Amino acid sequence: MAMGNLLGWLVTFFFLISLLAIICYQIICLIDLEIDHINPYDSAVRINKVVMPEFIIQAVFCLVCLITEHHLLCFLSLPYLFYNFSLYRRRRHLVDVTEIFNQLKWEKKQRLVKLGYLTMLLIVFIFW
């Protein structure tokens, strides 16, 4: 029983760390675009390549939290999952190459809020 709890905790922990790494990678790509180290096409391709894995990892994270009976963590991660689902449903989850400079501040702000939310979730997860 204790081994199952430990395994569940480790799996959810690694899912949360991988979500943080994906969001940090997206922010780095946007900052590189902002300071003109990479072109808009490369930046959009790099960001769009990791968007669907981020959404899938978030959904699996919620599912694993529910299965391992981390109900508080699952409840706290539902708004983030709903936001990702609504972005996907409205087809606004991918970065458009032609509009990336016009949406750069919004895209950075969106990912910084996601980073803050996931950091708060990590703190709750570690100390709960």
Whether residue 2 is predicted with pLDDT greater than 80 in this model: the reply is no
pLDDT, residue 21, reads: 98
Is the full-model pTM beyond 0.85?
Answer: yes
User: Does residue 69 have a pLDDT over 90?
Assistant: no
Q: Which pLDDT does position 4 carry in this prediction?
A: 75
Question: pLDDT per residue over 20-59, tens digit each?
Answer: 999 999 999 999 999 989 999 999 999 999 999 999 999 9
pLDDT at 70 over 80: yes
Torsion of CA 103, 105, 110, 113, to 10 degrees: 180
Residue pair 93/51 in contact (Cβ under 8 Å)? The answer is yes
Rounded-to-integer distance, Cα 127 and Cα 124, Å: 5
Contacting residues for 127 by C-beta, under 8 A, at least 6 apart: none
